[in-house]
Amino acid sequence: MALKTDMSQIMAMLSAMGKDEKISKDTVINYKSYLDTAKSLTTAEKELVSKASWHLRMNSDEGIFDLTLKTDFKDLKEIDQLLAILARWDNSNIMGDVFKDMTPQGSGMDDMGMGGGNKDISDMTKDYFKTDWQNGKLTKTLDTIAYKKINEDENLNSFKQLGALAGGGGGVDEMLGKINVTTKFMLPRPAKKAEGKNLKLSDDKKTVTVICPVSDIYTAPRNFEYKIEY
């Protein structure tokens, strides 16, 4: 399973803000390397987290900025467990450290709240949905209770501020509309059912891809939902 967030539009926004520093990075971040300091995790949780990694690509010349979570889990329940662990891990400033080390002073990353700290930008919408990933069935549904607090979301508000700083006719909605959250499932057998507004099924029915712009979290949050049976 791969969970990808394409934030290439941010490069264009930084350019509009007059940030001309060159940024180039293509690296794999293995959680296994950070587990020695993960005191809040149990042995079983550490073993689970050690199987996950992030692939980060940033290139200002080519306009690339994407982040992909990769795992080699055979049981999809483990992915659900992994995301829950990462959400509460008290040493989860790994991404912030990476951005802080790789971006030059004044690059504009701090303006987005991405220069350090504990913010997770891999999927800015994940806190507003419930996922149930089991062998044979995958679902994602809107958490209506959590969604009531969306206006208090620090990550999304940071991107709103960036849009305001960059200016332009399209504004915040246009920028968030060009940042996509992509989830791809490689199924062990053909799907029997695949439902979702932004869901695409491969010809052999074994690959399911869900691509949704972050802006939909405000205008059409149920576009992120899906139901897959195989």
According to the model, what pLDDT value does residue 94 have? 67
Phi-psi region of 205 (alpha: psi -120 to 50; beta: other; left: phi over 0): left
CA distances for 227 relative to 39, 77, 130, 188, 193, angstroms: 36, 15, 12, 16, 8
Query: What is the DSSP pairing of strand 180-186 with strand 129-134?
Result: unpaired
Instruction: Identify the domain containing residue 86 by its residue range.
Output: 2-229
104: pLDDT confidence band, cut at 50, 70 and 90? Answer: very low
pTM of the model: 0.68
How many domains are contained in the chain?
1
* Higher pLDDT pick, 156 / 1: 156
According to the model, what pLDDT value does residue 117 have? 39
What does the alpha-carbon distance between residue 95 and residue 24 come to, in Å, rounded to a whole number? 16
Half-sphere exposure of 193 (CA within 13 A, CB side): 9
Residue 214 pLDDT greater than 80, yes or no: yes
pLDDT tens figures, 117-130: 334 445 678 889 99
According to the model, what pLDDT value does residue 113 have? 44
Q: Radius of gyration of the chain from Cα atoms?
A: 18
Listed residue (162, 224, 172, 164) closest to 199, CA to CA? 224
Residues above pLDDT 70, as percent of the chain: 70
* Higher pLDDT pick, 76 / 50: 50
Average pLDDT score, the chain: 78
Per this entry, what is the length of the chain? 230
* Higher pLDDT pick, 145 / 71: 145
What does the alpha-carbon distance between residue 63 and residue 50 come to, in Å, rounded to a whole number? 31
* Higher pLDDT pick, 199 / 123: 199
According to the model, what pLDDT value does residue 16 have? 57
